[in-house]
């Protein structure tokens, strides 16, 4: 069976180092290595469940596209597209929703978390702030996946339940109309816990991230904010107990790490260690940042790339949707 690897990225706000090290870099390293087809899309209509400012969403979409390309995604091999450019997905979403027991959706983690939060806040209406987009999120995600007969879906561990929904819904459809959809498998890695400025997992919700592609001054300022203890500059430091060192490891060779570890043990001022890390990160991203800046300055080029991706994706989606329409009886 052909290996079809698909994953979606929800554009929300700036991409940070944690996203890069935990998701983007590993995905780019593995895409197209084993896949016969690799699809990567920007889940812009998923963002619309919570992002209601046009300018912000537009910027985020370009930001994600430019980031992935700048970080090395080869768009001649991988198909990069915007979810909203594929009308087939939304037609399929409706069809799938007619095979989705409402009770499933009541059990979706993201929805339940909202209800719990409302309860904790003492809200009378537990559905307060829940729109139908949020409620239907798992059905749209199932359509994203099933529309392309994806076999493997790399996702974070928090998305496993969504994959189960996709499989269940696909099975319900298959049971009724005969084999139509491939049942997708999630690929998850243990979270590689990239620490943020305060030592907790780097995350938008903790506001402790280092955004990618900052200019030099701002990047340095961020790095200087990494939490350290109050040991004096000359005292020996333990490299295994240092956020600065943890981050340094992602950008350096073994030899460089050994060298810095020695310097730590001999005694190094935190400011100096931060300066070393800052230079390392800046160097690592110099060329990528140039590509990123060029793309962000020429969004017409990004539009072209995304249009091309959408065309290629629709060529895959169209025949399957036609087959599905026939099976349901709406195509005469």
Q: Please give the residue ranges that form the binding site for ligand TRP (CB under 6 A).
A: 6-8, 10, 43, 46, 141, 144-145, 153, 155, 159
Cβ atoms 195, 189 nearer than 8 A: no
Nearer to ligand TRP, 46 or 237 (CB): 46
Neighbours of 110 (CB within 10 A): 16
Closest-by-Cβ residue to ligand TRP is 8
Q: For the chain, what is the radius of gyration of the CA atoms?
A: 22
Determine the Cα–Cα distance for residues 93 and 86; give it in Å rounded to an integer: 12
Min. distance of Cβ 184 from ligand TRP in angstroms? 8
- Minimum CB separation of residue 276 from ligand TRP in Å reads 33
Cα–Cα distance measured from residue 259 to residue 109, given in angstroms and rounded to the nearest whole number: 45
What are phi and psi for residue 110, nearest 5 degrees? -65, -40
Q: Which CB atom, from 37 or from 159, has the smaller least distance to ligand TRP?
A: 159
Under a CB-based contact definition with an 8 Å cutoff, are residues 244 and 274 in contact? yes
Nearer to ligand TRP, 13 or 246 (CB): 13
Of the pair 147, 296, the CB lying nearest ligand TRP is at 147
Token match 């095979």: residue? 99
Token representation of residue 157: 């561990």
CA distance 150 to 182: 7
Q: Please, which residue, 79 or 153, has the CB nearer to ligand TRP? A: 153
CB of 290 to ligand TRP, least distance (A): 28
Is 45 or 62 the residue whose CB approaches ligand TRP more closely?
A: 45
Minimum CB distance to ligand TRP, residue 186 (Å) = 9
Q: Which of 203, 313, 105 is nearest to 321 (CA)?
A: 313
């Amino acid at each position: 069976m052909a290996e079809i690897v698909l994953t979606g990225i929800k554009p929300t706000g700036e991409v940070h180092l944690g996203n890069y090290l935990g998701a983007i870099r590993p995905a780019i390293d593995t895409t197209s290595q084993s896949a016969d087809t690799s699809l990567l899309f920007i889940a812009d209509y998923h963002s619309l469940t919570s992002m209601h400012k046009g300018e912000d969403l537009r910027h985020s979409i370009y930001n994600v596209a430019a980031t992935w390309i700048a970080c090395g995604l080869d768009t001649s091999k991988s198909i990069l597209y915007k979810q909203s450019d594929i009308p087939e997905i939304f037609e399929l979403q409706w069809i799938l929703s007619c095979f989705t027991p409402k009770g499933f959706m009541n059990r979706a983690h993201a929805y339940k978390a909202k209800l719990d939060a409302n309860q904790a806040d003492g809200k009378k209406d537990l559905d307060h702030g829940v729109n139908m987009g949020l409620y239907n999120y798992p059905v749209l995600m199932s359509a994203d996946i099933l529309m392309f007969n994806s076999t493997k879906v790399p996702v974070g561990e928090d998305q496993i339940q969504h994959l189960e929904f996709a499989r269940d819904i696909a099975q319900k459809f298959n049971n009724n109309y005969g084999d139509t959809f491939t049942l997708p498998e999630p690929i998850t890695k243990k979270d590689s816990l990239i620490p943020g400025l305060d030592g907790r997992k780097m995350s938008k919700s903790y506001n402790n991230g280092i955004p990618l592609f900052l200019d030099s001054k701002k990047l340095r300022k961020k790095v200087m904010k990494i939490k350290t203890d109050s040991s004096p500059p000359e005292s020996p430091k333990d490299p295994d107990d240092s956020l600065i060192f943890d981050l340094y490891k992602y950008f350096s060779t073994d030899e460089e790490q050994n060298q810095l570890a020695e310097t730590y043990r001999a005694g190094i001022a935190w400011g100096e260690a931060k300066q070393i890390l800052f230079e390392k990160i800046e160097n690592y991203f110099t060329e990528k940042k140039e590509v990123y800046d060029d793309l962000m300055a020429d969004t017409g080029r990004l539009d072209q790339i995304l249009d091309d991706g959408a065309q290629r994706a629709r060529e895959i989606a169209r025949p399957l949707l036609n087959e599905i329409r026939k099976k349901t009886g709406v195509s005469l």
